[in-house]
Structure 1
Amino acid sequence: MRAEELNRSVQDCLKTVWLAQEWSADPVTTTGLAQRLGLSPSTVSEAVKKLTAQSLLGRTEHAGIVLTDRGRAVAVQMVRRHRILEAFLATRLGYAWDEVHEEAEVLEHAVSEKFIARVDALLGHPERDPHGDPIPRRDGTVPPATAVLLADVPPGTTAVVARVSDADPDQLRRLGEAGIRPGTELVLGEHLSRAVAVTVGGAVVEVGVLAAEAVWVRPRP
């Protein structure tokens, strides 16, 4: 199924279910989905019922709300559009990494698959967006997203930043100013009561607890 066959609200719902499962093993609930979409639980509950009837969503005892194969195909198309557009805005139009998400949210519904394919080729088929999230390929496969939360890494570990959540633009700005971006090497220091100390480029930076839960890293052996 092509994303263009569905309206924007359906595209957003399917994409959001996929994103909720990308970096977390927690079940996707109606309440959690409503929070992510900024809608009431009752509205989301009705939407889930309709999409289940259309064989785009389903429910399981352990995973909660899940995508069917048809639903996943649409969700991955939307994620691909979003992340390619973010890469384009950041690398070709000079947008800061804390600005691209909102622009891409609007643009992803207005462009065609042909346009996205052209932009993808123009950028050299990037595998990651500006925040380190993997960009799904045109065939629907997704590069592996293997990393662990910064907050879970023990002191003394040398790690490379793999991904930073784009959920909070202000937090992205602060982390960027501290030099914490995908590809940055850092050394984990002491876990303080309200922060994690990390060494970035020879400077010690205190990363707040909430920020440490928005940064994923790959520890070096």
Structure 2
Amino acid sequence: MPHRDPLARRLRAGFASTGAVSDRVGVTPATVTEAFERLAADALVDYEKGAGVVLTDRGTQIARELARRQCVVRAFFATELGVEYGAGDGYRFGYALSEDGVEALRRLVDFPAEQCWQSPGEYADDCPCESTAP
């Protein structure tokens, strides 16, 4: 059974509200609205005031790639160096690395990250990143 994040369930159901995202990330609803508007301008989400936001196909593709990168980085640090990092640090490291760098780490730990992250906030049971949603 995959692990799920409550906010991710709302996204899969069709939307996430400004309030739900605001509560989850600990910022004001106005900050979330501004972020939604910027993401919509970049075609990463479809946003409608009052209705909420849903990832576009492009937004989902980018979210999956970022989740894959953070999983690979966290798996490398945990298995090779014995250091545990949270998802936030994993995202920052994974974002900063080139694709070649991420792939080199993946090969070192023999980690099939492309099969780990299934959809927004949903991880395979054996994923080392399962406890923290993207």
Which residue in the other structure is 2:8 paired with? 21
Which amino acid is the alignment partner of residue 165 of structure 1?
S
In the alignment of these two chains, the number of paired residues is 124
Matched, 1:166 2:123: no
State, as a whole percentage, how many aligned pairs show the same letter: 28
Which of 81, 101, 104 does residue 87 from structure 2 map onto?
101
TM-score (normalizing by structure 2): 0.69
Instruction: Output the CA distance in 1 between the equivalents of 2:103 and 2:6.
Output: 22
Which residue in the other structure is 1:65 paired with? 53
Matched, 1:134 2:116: yes
Instruction: Answer whether contact 2:47 2:53 (CA < 8 A) is retained.
Output: yes
1:163 CA drift (Å): 8.2
Other structure's SS at 2:43 match: coil
Does the C-alpha gap of structure 1 residues 109 and 39 become closer, same or farther in structure 2, counting only changes over 3 Å? farther
Instruction: Answer whether contact 2:106 2:112 (CA < 8 A) is retained.
Output: yes
**Greater relative contact order (CA < 8 Å, ≥ 6 in sequence):** 2
Instruction: Output the CA distance in 2 between the equivalents of 1:43 and 1:64.
Output: 14
1:111 CA drift (Å): 1.1
Which residue in the other structure is 1:41 paired with? 29
1:164 CA drift (Å): 5.3
Of Structure 1 and Structure 2, which has the larger fraction of its residues in helix? 2
Instruction: Answer whether contact 1:31 1:41 (CA < 8 A) is retained.
Output: yes
Other structure's SS at 1:91 match: helix
Q: Give the structure with higher Rg (CA).
A: 1
- Unaligned residue ranges in structure 1 (runs of 5+): 1-17, 148-161, 168-221
TM-score (normalizing by structure 1): 0.45
Other structure's SS at 1:51 match: helix
Instruction: Output the CA distance in 2 between the equivalents of 1:146 and 1:113.
Output: 23
Other structure's SS at 1:108 match: helix
Which residue in the other structure is 2:106 paired with? 120
Instruction: Answer whether contact 1:90 1:100 (CA < 8 A) is retained.
Output: no
Instruction: Output the CA distance in 2 between the equivalents of 1:86 and 1:23.
Output: 26
1:41 CA drift (Å): 0.9
Which residue in the other structure is 2:67 paired with? 79
